[in-house]
Structure formats: C-alpha cells, structure tokens
Structure 1
Amino acid sequence: MKRIDRIYAYLVEQSEGKTLDDFVHMEGFTASDIANDLDILRNNVSAELNKLLRQNSIIKIKGRPVHYLVKSSIEKLLGCKLPDDQHEYENMNELLSFQSPTIRPAAKGNADASEEPNPFDDLIGSKTSLKVQVEQAKAAVLYPPHGLHTLIVGQTGVGKTLFANMMFNYAKSSAPFMDEDAQFIVFNCADYANNPQLLLSHIFGHTKGAFTGADSEKDGLVTKADGGMLFLDEIHRLPPEGQEMLFYFMDTGTYAKLGETERNRKANVLIIGATTEDPDSSLLKTFVRRIPILIRIPSFEERPAKDKIEILKFLLAIEANRVQKPIKIDAESMKALIGNTSYGNVGQLKSNIQLVCANGFLHCLNDDVITINFKDLPSELKNGFFYLSRKRQEIQELSELIDSYLTVYPEGENKALFEEDPYEPDFNLYNIIGDKVSFMMDQDVSDEDINRFLKLDIDIHLNKFYNKFYSNALNREKILKIVSEDILDFSEEVQEIVEKRLKRKVNDRFLFAFSLHLTSFLKRVKNQQVANYTNIENVINDRPEEYQLSLDICKMIEKRYRVHVPVKEAMYLTILLTSLLDDQKAEQVAILVAAHGSSTASSMVSVVKSLLGESNVDSIDMPLDMSPKYVLEEMKKRVKEIDMGKGVLLLVDMGSLTGFGDIITQETGIKTRTIDMVTTALVIEAIRKATIMEMDLEDIYESLKDFRGYGSYQVEQKTEETRQPQKPPAILSVCSTGEGTAEKLKQLVEQLLKNIGRSDITVIPLQINEVEDKKETYMHKYDILLTVGIADPKVHAPFIPVEALFMGDGEAQVMHLIQNQQLLQTPPRSPAMVREMTEESLNEFLTFLNPKKVVGAITEFVSSIERLAERPFNNASKINMNIHIGCALERVVTHAGLIYKNEITPEKEEKKESYKKAAKIFEDQLKLKLSDDELYYIVDMIDNLSSRQTAGVQ
C-alpha cells in the first residue's frame, strides 16, 4: 500500500464511530499524531496530507497545530455536501454552520421550531456573527434526553452571562425536559476561590457539623437548580476537587453534600460554565472531556461593523430611556466609541457610553436634546477615532452605515434581556447630577465650578463601578501567583491611602512592588532575620511627606500583622514609594513616521503594529502632489496629539521632511529628533526601544542614527570589539530592600535565561537604595544587556518592569531582548543559513508547493537578479525576496496572481523583460510561469531596496 493510501486509510479508520461532538472537542488529527501512530517522518506526512487536500479527500482546520478531517466522514455527520472549492476552515464552528436542519433535534411540539420566534432573536448578531454560536446553543439545549453541558469561552465583557440567560430562556420555551417554573441559578466561582470548602458547600450544600461554622444543614445550588440550569461563571476558579465532584455529578446525576460519604442524592441540572481562560490550560482535562459543547463568543473587535453599530444604538437607547430625552450623537463620536472598545468589549463600550451621555447631560441640562459632539469627548475616547482611522476597511464600512448624526429617542421602558446585568450600575447617574446641580445653583456656585466638580464626580462614580471588571479581573490573578491574597488585599488598601494622601494615581507596578516588599519583610520577621540597614536618614529631610505616609503605613502593618516594624523600615518604604512615584512621571517616547507616497508610511506602521501590537506610533503619508506646508502643519498637529511628555521621534524618508523637526520643536515646544531613510526594520526597532525598553528620546536617537537593519549589525559589532575588550554579559535585577524579593526576581530571570540556553549571563540583584552608588561600578565591569525590577536604574539598557515579568508576555520580552543581543555577537549568516531560514518560513506560508523543491530555483533566480541589478543583496533582503517569490509561485498554482496597478515606465518595462528571462528557471524546473504583473512587483521590490539594505557591509 502506498504511503498516501496508508495515511488516508488511517484517517478513515480513526473517524469511524465518532460524532460531531467528538470532532468539536478534538478538532481532528494532526500531522504529528499521524506520524507517531504510523511511524512515518512528519515532513513526509505533511507532504501527503497536502496531496490529499488537493485531491479534495480531506479538509484542513486552521490553527496551531493544524488539524485534518476526512471530508466524506464530516459530510455524512453534517448531512450535507461541503463546497468543492473550499479546503480550509477557520474552526469546527464554521463547519457546523453547514449542518443540515433535518438532523438537528426538533423543538417540542414543532418540527420547524428553528423558524419560530425565540429568545435568541433579541441577541444582536444572532443571524450574523453569532449564528454558529446560537446554533450550537440550541443543539446543546435540545439534545435528548436532558441537554448537553456547555462551556462558554470569551473575554471579559463579551456577553457570556447574557448568552447563558438566552440559552435558559430558549430551553424553557423549547426543551421538553425543562418546565416553566425551572430556575436559572447563577454562581461566580471567583467569590470563594480561596476557600474551597465554602465554595463546594455553596454548590452541593453541607450537613450539620461538616466544618467549623456549619451549625445547620443547608441545601446547595444543585438542589435549587434541579430541573433547571446552573450557570457557573469563572468556572476555572473551581479547585481540582470541586471539578472532580462536578464531573462525577455530570456523569451520574448523583452527588453528596459536604460531610456525607454516600452519593445518593439525585438532581437533573444542565450545567453551563463560563471562563475567560483557555480551558485546556485552566481546567482538568478529565473535566473538559465531560463538556461536549464549547461555545466561543467573539470579542467586540471581531464583530462585523453592522453588529457594532447595532450594539451602540441599543446601549444609547438604554441611556435615552433612563434620562427620558433624545440623544443626538455625531458620526465621529460613534466611531471614537467603537474604536476605543478594546479589552472590555461590550461592557467597556457600555461604560464609555454612560460617561459621554452623563457629560452630555451635564452640558445640556436645560435643552430638550442631549447632544454629543466629538470635540467634547475626553481625550482618551478621542484616541479611539484615531486608532480606527488606521483600519481603512473597517472605517470605510462604518462610514457607509453611519449618517452624519444619529438621534435615539426614548421609547418607554427598556426591554431587559435578562434580569440581573452585572454591568448595570445600581444608581441613576442622571438623578445624581440633577440633584447636585440644583443644590449648587441654590448655593450660588458658578457654572464653571459646577461643571468642573460634576465632571470629577461622574468619573468617580463610573470608574469606581467599572474598575471591578477590568483592572481587577485582568491583574489580580497574575499578582496572586506570587503573593498571598491577604497581602494583596492589604496592598490595595495601602494603594488607596497613598493615592488619597499624595493626590496621585499609581500604576500596577505599585501593587507588585509593595506586595513583594511586604511579603519579604514578613518573611524576615518570621525567620527572625535582621535586615542590613545602611545610613538612609537623609530621606526624612528629602521626602518629608512620603516619610510621614510611610510611618502611617508601618503602623497599619503592625496592627494588621501584629509585628514590630522598625523605624528604618519606614525609611526604606519611603525610598520605595519615591521611586515608584517618580518612575511614573516619565512616559514613553512617541513615534511619528512620515514618508512620500500615498500609503508608504501607513503601510509600514500597519506592518509594525501587526507584529508588536498597538503602541504610541502614528503615520503621515505624503503624496507627491501634496504641499510641504500642509504636511508640516499636519505633522505639528500629530506631534501635539501623540506626545506623552518624553518627546517625539520623527522617522522620515527624504526631502523636506528631514528638516521639519527643528521647526516643529520651535513652534510647539515639544522636543523632537529626526532620523531619515526610514525602513520597516527601523520603525520596529524604534517602537521596541520606546515601549519595551522605555528609553529616552536622546538614547533612542543615538542608538538608531546608524541603524542599518538587523542583517547588518555584525560589522559594527566587530569594529566595536576591536576597540574595547569584551565584558561579561549581565542583567541587573532592581528590587526592594528585602532579600526574599531579590532572590525571587533573581531565580525567575535565571530560569528564563536557562530556557534559552544562556547560562553565561550573570544576574545581579541590586537594592533600590543602592542604585546610584553601585550602578557605575556594574556598568564598568559588565556589559548590561537589560534591567528588570521595580524601578529603571537608567543604565542605557532596556528595562522590563516587575509587573511585565509576571504577566503572560514577561518571558517572551526577556527572550526577545536577550536573543537580539545575541544576534549582535553572531557571524554573518552563510548562504546555507539563508536557504534554511527561507525553507522554514515557506513551510508556514505554502500549502501546495513543497518548499524543499522550490527553494533551489528561487535562490538561483535571486542570484540572477543580483547580477542584473549590479549589486548584491544582504541576507535579510534575500530572505524577504525568497519568501515573496515562493508565495508568488504558489499564487500561480492557485490561479490567484496579483494584478499590477502602478504606472509602468519604459525603464520598468525593460527591467521586467530582463527579469522574465531569469524567471525561465521556474518554467524549466517547476513548470510554473510567473506573470508579468508578478514580475513588475519584483521590479518594485528591487528598486525599493535602499543602499542601506545592500550587502556591501556583508
């Protein structure tokens, strides 16, 4: 039997007997699975799978890793034929959308209930972006005999609780096993996550004497939900023993109260869980297997433009009903609100709408209509418009759907989608504003003072309410990985007092640093260790306000933890407070990219953002017919908008743009520096140094003014090495005064270095009060690669704050920075390395072509182009060109070639013809012919290679 036949037979055999639910859970078979089971090299398996794809025998589910399914098996389970021209699908949900209605369970009493009105009809997107999810939910609820337990996954604020409510309402009207009096019981597992005994007692109940304080027997939520639905929010906070008890109940329908030994109680409950985490990493695998239906709710960002507008209108209607006035809002404000909705999703949009409506109400107290104009929005909301304006396709879609103004009228009572909305404040902000305005007007307070006072009041009310959903939800769990909950609670109390006394907001670093410091201090006290205090009495005179606050915090520590706190500990605490507060004064350097061409600058910034995420960077395109004077005015305007207090780095290409920096600084007072010959690599490096490394404007400028791309660092390094003896590499770990804190940070960084095989790097702990005295010594002795910790020691090296280390991307940041430093010390890549890297990259991009077979022809073609261009290309450029040409050849196979729309000059035509002769190698070796359009694009690529990208330095 041929290898391809063995693989296909294996897939068919493994698919037999499996249901759609099985495939939803497992997603299919990976190349690694097949290779291991059949003892075939993985590369060979991948090649045969690509052939089966082209033969239309299997389908691919995208993701990491990619999964494969037998097409005929899936068609049989779906009850329909899949399109012949589609081989790839985003996920199993996309496949389920093809499912034939004839094989779905029918609603009670009506075989065509799916066409009947149902609670899901009230859900925005039920027929569009949530169509697959709604179908999954209906199938879960109607599945005989008692429905299927379901897990709802999605970010904070996407509407998981609302979706579960809809499932319950649908079940009451359509599921045969659920009566009209069935209950929907909601429980948030996070409320008792640190007390597993109490949490299990709430879910399953307890007997008298089951634990201390159990004075009487109590029924649990399972008993109350019998015959109905139990919704467990933040289900990932269930302890392992709780998950085990729950999946036993799912399997058998029986359970025991806490304190009972026999599981002889019965209940019929449909379990719906919700989580913001990845189920595979946050829940027991045995538990996840018991939940056959997994529904992923898309984020607000992933919703189509039409859905976003409908959600916006719905939320505005709620406010119009609440205030009983029409609300008129301009198009720019609507786009700003939509663009500003990121981490908090619909919940965040709701809070932003309440904020702008409250401010609009304040300005229009005596008017019949509340008017919301873009110019009146808070600056942080205006940024949403600028963010959205860079997403050309989305803003075009929104512009087509939005008129210049939208007016929403109050229409009686709001239609409540469910009774208890956690994102609904328990106060009427408009009544609060109205009452306070009346009172202050009676006291002859000026209009200006009334406005200023009430704006602050609005912010306090809304921020206090919504903070519990965002900052707490996002950061608490990460901090709890390193400190106890009691210490974190106390640290939050201290943070509130610090902000109140010093009248300043502090960032997340305060919680990390103070909680670590307190943990270390209490550990010292417990082990009866004495700190080696140095002479730091000068802080009493230098920072009297912070010192007095530190004394009060020390008294709080003594009262809370019943320990003696030495006076010198208050001095150290003063240094810690001072450092954290001073560190916040410095913001990031902003980046402005300006270049000639209709989309040159914006394209570069778009690429960089897709790689590094959102950051403080903007772009200005300068078509050749645009007046330099207009561009200068636009640059001044943008510089003012994006400046965060540390200046703006201007990255420009040529011409008049290179001289605008001094004029902008002179007329705006904002410090600027200009670097010309901008490239995508230069923008990446500038943003990396401004954000991740938090470097100053002058340091960034000095480090980038001779930047020649990643492929040409080595020569400079060699020159440097000839001038100076090489120093041993090191990382500075800046910590508070406790030895425990220093050791914890040191161990963490050493583990990260171990993960990337860099045992040659020394990690040096440096206490915060010793920074100024010792940093010069360390800089002289070591090559400081980067610094980590609670404060930036300012040693002209990248700085990673302590909170980033413990966040999800902390390890990635360290690895990224160290590996970039390592790059400086490697010799230039050989042609073999270029070929190897090209092959690795093409493995990711190509579906139908075998990278091993095409890479030789591509390399030969690029060598011919080098000779025709009469200049060699550096390795980075070669790799980029190789990948582009590989993708062009794949487009030939799929008949999806690019169409060239730029101007064709005689010179360009001549070059194209010469490149066409070189491209004959593809016809000879691969039987593939590049089109003229594709060749024109290759001509452009070569022409756009600046002299800085050529290989003279190689």
Structure 2
Amino acid sequence: MKRNERVLAQLETLSTHIDLDTLLATGGITALQIAEAVNIQRNNVSADLNQLFREQKLVKINGRPVGYLSLAAAEQLLGTAVTTFFFDSLEVFLAAQPTTTAEYEKTPFSDLIGATTSLRNQVEQAKAAILYPPNGLDTLIVGPTGVGKTLFANMMFNYAHHIGKYAADSPFVVFNCADYYTNPQLLMSHLFGHVKGAFTGADTDKQGLVEKAHQGILFLDEVHRLPPEGQEMIFYLMDNGNYAKLGETERQHHADVLIICATTENPESSLLKTFVRRIPIIINIPTFEERAAKDKIDLLRFLLTTEAHRIKKPIEIDTEATKALIGNTTYGNVGQLKSNIQLVCANAFLHSLKDDTLKINFKDLPAEVKNGFFHLSGNRAEMQELSDHLKSDVIVYPDDNTKSLIKDDAYEPDFNLYSIIEDKVGFMVDQGIKDEEINRFIGIDIDIHLNSFYSKFQNNTQSREKMLKVINEDILNFTENIKSMIEQHLHRKLDERFILAFGLHLTAFLKRNKEHKIVRYANIENVVQEMATEYELSIQINQMIKTHFSVSVPMMETMYLTLLINSLLKDNKSQRVAILVAMHGSSSASSMVNVVKKLLGENNIESIDMPLDLSPKKVLDDMRRVVREIDNGKGVLLMVDMGSLTGFGDILTEETGIPVKTIDMVSTPTVLEAVRKATIMEMDLETIYRSLKDFRGYENYLEKPTTTVAIPDSPADKPLAILSVCTTGEGTALKLQTFVGTLLKNMGRSDISIIAMPLHEVAQRQTELDQYHILLSIGIANPNVGVPFIPLEQLFDSEGEALLNHYIPTATPLVLEHINKPSMVLQMSEESLNEFLTYLNPTKVLPLLLAFVNDIEQFENIQLTNGQKINLIVHVGCALERAVVKETLAYYATASPQQLSKRGDYHTIAQHFYNSLKINLSDDELYYIMDMIADTLTIQSL
C-alpha cells in the first residue's frame, strides 16, 4: 500500500469515531494524529493530506490546527452530499447543515478564541450592543490588564462592518484617557476640538476625536482616568450626540458616535454614577485563570504559532512546559502568557539555530516559568482538565493558519528578537567567541530585552530566593497559600511584606514549639473585640497550621497572630518628600531625572525643562501644576540650576500652600542624594534641605583621607548597635539577628551588636536602647527611634546588602579611598548602559565611550559635569547600538554651518568605535551629539 493510501485509510478509520460533539471539541482529525498512528513524519502526512484534498478524496476544515474528515463522515455529519471540499472554519462547515445555518453563521467573533465557550455571553452582549437600532448601545468593557479589552472592542467594530452597520471607511478612533488626565483643558481639546482663541496658542480651529469618529466608534481606553468634567461631557454626548468645542458656550455640534469604554477598575467606585447609568451594556472579560482549559491551550497554541511564523520553524513543546506556561499566567493574563512564550521561544531559538525544529522542554524553562507547573499542581481539577486536552506534546508549524485580529497590539514588541539574536550570534562568532560564552551572553541579553519590555508582567523570583535563606520552602509555600486565602477573604491584595513577616513568625513559633518553650505575652486579650475580622482569620489560619504541621497551637498564639495580621493589613506606605528638578535647556532636567530614576528605581521625582526661549511665567505655571500633583503631604524639594528658578520656591509655597524648599547648583549626585534621603532614609523636607545645602558631590566626602572608619556623632562610650524589630514576639527579630549578623561579618564589622525587640516594646525599653549608639533599625515597621530604617522587604531584595553597606562603612577604608570622581562616573555609566543596551557589552564598550567624551571635551575646550558626562555616554552608547541594528536616528533639522564645519572632526573622534567595534556613527547621529554639546555650552555661558 502506498503511503498516501495508508494516510487516507487511517483518516477514514479515525473519522468513524467522530460525532458532532467531538467535532466541536477537536475541529476534525489532525495530521499529527494520523502521523502518530501510522508512524510517518508529520510533514509527509501533511503533504499527502493536501494532495488527497486536491484530488477531492477528503474534506479539509481550516482552523488551529487544520482538521480533516473522510467524505463519508462529513456527509453523515452534514446530512447531505458533500459538494464543497474546503471550509474556511468549523463554523462554515456546520453552517452547511440546512437546519443550523443561522446558529453557526460565520462572523468576526468566530475567530476569537473562546467565542463559543468562556466568552460566549460576552460575545452575545457585544452583538446585541452593535445590532440595537438605530446606532447601537454604548458599552463599557471591564477587566484586568491583559485580558483583551482592546481586542474585544476591535472585534465589535469588525462585527459592525460585517453586518453592514458601518460603511467600509467608517472610523474606529482610539483614545487613551491616561495620556492627558493631568491636563483637563488639553484633554477636552483633544476629545472635542477647540475654536480659535479658546486658550493661549489656539491660533486656529481644531477638529476633535469625537468629530473624527462621526458615524463610527470612539474607543475610550482607561476611561477611569477621565476627570469628572470629561465624564460629564461624554455622557452629554451619549444622551443626544451634541457637544461643544473648547471655547464655545453652546453644544452646537452633532456626531453619531458609538462610545465603547474600557477600564481595569470597579466602575461603581472609579466612575461617576451618572456616567455609569448612561451605559446600558457592561461586558466583563474573564481573567485567564477563569477561562476554560481548552481556551487556555488554544490561546497558547495560537501564540506559539505566531512565533513559529516569525522564526520560520516548527515549534514543539512538551506537556509539562505547556502546563508551566499556563500555570504561571496568574496575574498578567493573556499579555503575560504572550511575554512568557516569547521569552522561552527566544531562549530555545538561541540553542537551536542549527536545528530544523525549535524544541521547548520543561527542564530548560526559566525558574520563574517552571514555578507555574507547581502552582498549577495545587489545583488538581484544573490539572486533570488540562491533561484531558493535552494527550501529547504540542506542535505548531509556520504554515498553520494564523490571523491577526488586531492591527496595533500593545503587547507586541516593535523589534524582531529572533533577527537580533541571529545577528548577534553571527557577529560574536566572527569575533572568535566560544559557543558557551555566546550562549551565556545572549541568554542574559534575552532576559534583559524581554523582561524590560514586559517588566510589568514579571515575577520577582529573586526576592523569593532571598526569603528562602531564612524561611524553609515548606513554610514559604504554606505562607503563600495563607496569603491567597486572606486576599480572597478580604478582597484585597497583600504585598511581599506579609510573606516575609508571617513566614518568619511561623518559623519562630514552630521552633519554640519544638523546644517546648513558653512565651509570655502581655495585655493582648482585648484583640478579640477590637480586631474581630483579623481574629476570625487567625482562628482559620491556626487550624491550617495545626493540620499542616501536626502541632498544637495555643489560644494565645491565635491572639498574637491577630496582632500580626492587623499590622500587616494597614497601609503603612509612608509619605515621602517629593522632588522636582528644573533646569535651563531643552532636556537637561529630564535627562538628569531619567538617569536617577534608572539608578534608584524611585518615582517620587519629576522634571521640568526650561528652553531658553520659554518665559519664566510659563515655567512657574508648570511648576505650580507639577508641585500639586507630586506632593503627598510632606512637601516638595525644588532643585534648580540658576537664574530666576532659584526664587520660585517661596512663590510656590505661598500660592499652593505646599512647603517648598529650593536647592540651587543642582547636579546628578545631588539629586541622587536627595532621592536617597527622601525614600530610603525617609527624612523630612527641612532635614533634607539642611543636609544638601553644602553637598557638592560624593567625591568631596570619599576623597578625605582616613585611617579608621568613623560613625558620625557616635559617642565614644557607647557600643554600636542595630535595632531589629518585629510586630510580634522576639522570634522573628532573632531570626533577623542571625541574617544581619552574617552580613556584618562579611563586611568585617564584628564591633556592632544587634538588638532584637518587639515593636510594641520599643518605647517602654528606651532606657535599654539608650545604652547603645543605634546606627539604624530594620524590620516590618519603622520604630521611629531617630535613625535610618530599612524595611524588611528591602533588606531581602537585590539591594539589601548594598543598603546595609551604605549606612555602615566596611572595616576596610582603603576601598573607599580609591573611589574618586572618574570611578563614580564609570560606575554610574555602566549601570545605566546595562539598562539601555541589549546588543553591545557595556563593560567592553564603556572605555571607548569614556575616551570619546574626553576627546570631545578637549576638542570643544569644555569641562563636563559628572551628570553631563553620564548623559552623553548613555546617549552615544545607544547610538552605537542603533548603528548595529541599522535603526539610526534621522536628523530632521537643517545642519548649521557650525555643525557642518565640525562634522569631519567628530568623525575623526568617533574613529575609536570603528577601530575596535567596526561601527560607524552616521552624520545624523553626530549632529544630535553636537546639539547636546551646544546645550551644555549655552548653559555654561549663562
């Protein structure tokens, strides 16, 4: 028997067992099923099936994957003779049944995964909203980030086209309300347009988005960011289609617009009730976890197929890896699943450049993705349901049917990572780099590239690894389950502080129980009346402890656990001094603030640039607005360079009522120090201001010769100590004592004691503390003893040891003596480049960048500040990377005579890069560098 005859015979055998329900669940017999049954390679089976289809010996149903039926089975299912051998989808096939044409009518929603399962009710709501005469019903789509709200709105628009509701050129206008929510006037102008003279600078009439959306759909994303006056304008538009442009007093314009809104928030609490009442259709999109198991697999298969098309290779993923990817999608929904799939595909691609198939195995997954399998194993029902649908490894092919359902995908990177990987590997091979080094470097590069793009969807596994140093895995897993239970009970999210605190408390309790130690608690019996909710939770939790760890839990432990939960449920996010940097120049302030944000990762700082042609009045207006936005109760530190900016602080205080202090002669180190003191040390405004008045950079302190490490204001007769506090008994604090003691030992500081103490006893035991010079405190909550405080979660994250080292100098002062000004620029530049570069190795390229900056200084006869050097280094580093990936900037302005005269000299200076890296900087990139230098020269001349 020929091979194609064997394939057809097997198809006919398998088709005899398929009924309508099975067809709905599977979409038909797949090439993979036949290949496994007859032991023939899948690609050969696929080729034979296509040939048999052309010979009209079988029925082909397009789908994901493509399904096939024997002629006999197809005729039996349809109840009629087969005259068509290809069907564009399962719905089209079923529509061929005379009695089911209407039920299975093909629509744009047919391409939506889950349209007949998890999203069936939502699709029916959407259809009703579009069909309702005359113009449809305004709709609100509700759901967390990443569930597909924007996609769903696009599908509604496509459906309106499909049924002839809209003309072919009808508009679908998208507006993200978060873009202008801080400026209501600009927002109103953008939405409704404005008339000439409506505000300063309104020289002509302007068309708004509502007018552009006439006879179409206006999609308002993140509608909860729309201010109340904006919501009012929209619901007037909903009422009768009339609106006024900004600057008009009467609603004299009309637009036939269907409004579709989307929000991640609860509409009842985030939107005006009058606004919500005017929206007749509210569609709730389920989270990924709430979707059916088949939908989850279909979504994963669809996303994998997209990657297969990109790399032009089949992708094979084993069942355990499939379950891990699904199980790890716990909070970012489809957006998170997509980012994880791209991450694992990129890593697999790196290791299969020479293979015909890209294989993804569970053992090769990143640790954070592997955790998804263990998370899923806690839900046996879901695990079984997935297993029922995953009979074998998932295989997808580049030639499988894929269809883009949305034009602009917010979760789609604007780069082809696979092309970047191939280019980088080729470049490194040419440089003679070994395979293991290439794999290591590119692997790190992939993580940086994708994790940076999808940072909002990534798990903080590093924190978990830190926790495992002081909490064993069984207790940590149990604690995470307790956290989930409390979140479900109270309908609110808890942060990592809960896991740390509860895990340490439980560790201490189990240790006491094992050693039969009795801890006496005092004056906490009244918690039953004062903390009823927490007490009820504590009873449940202690029963779970008793069952899981097989221990007896005394009643007093229940009361003490109540105190712990109550403390951790409080919103203890301390208010911080906000910082505003304002400087002359088109980008001086914003560039400096971006560097600081990258280095410290804090967000209590904003910037205002003051181009030289901008009036001081406009700058003051901007300052007034920003100060009101960023103040959270502790005032604003205004950091400026010179001129009129130095006198704005008092004016802002008088006009806004917000305390504002001004520091002039701003520099990057000064801003770094301000942010550090406002966030890590939680200083008040006056203290920060006084400490920075004479601060002129770190080198002023670090270059002072010293022979011993001195602690400022340390009484000679008092021993040094760190205060370790917890919110319950001393067990947790003692556990911290061991951990911090190890860190101090590594620093060579055996002269510092660690005092463990419950938080509620700090005030009563002040006399005991007075015997020591307390350097800092650590723990769950700030004991407010007048020293810097390190929260427990910061101590255990990636910066914990660095924080401790910052407050407590090491016992080897020679290390500090060698930190000079060039070293500081070197360190800060390398850290910044690590954030921005994905192709070039920052460590290797940094010396070339420093040499380039030095040559520029000599050529231009200028002395750049540390901050200016860092900005220039980062900019040129990014320019080099753009040259490598052939995405150089275009200089749209006309080059000045001065720039043209300097072009040759700048090319000569940039020759360093070609000699070492074979990279040339284009004229356009050099013109931008000249602009940066020109801004610097302008500022220095003022």
TM-score, reference length from structure 2: 0.45
TM-score, reference length from structure 1: 0.45
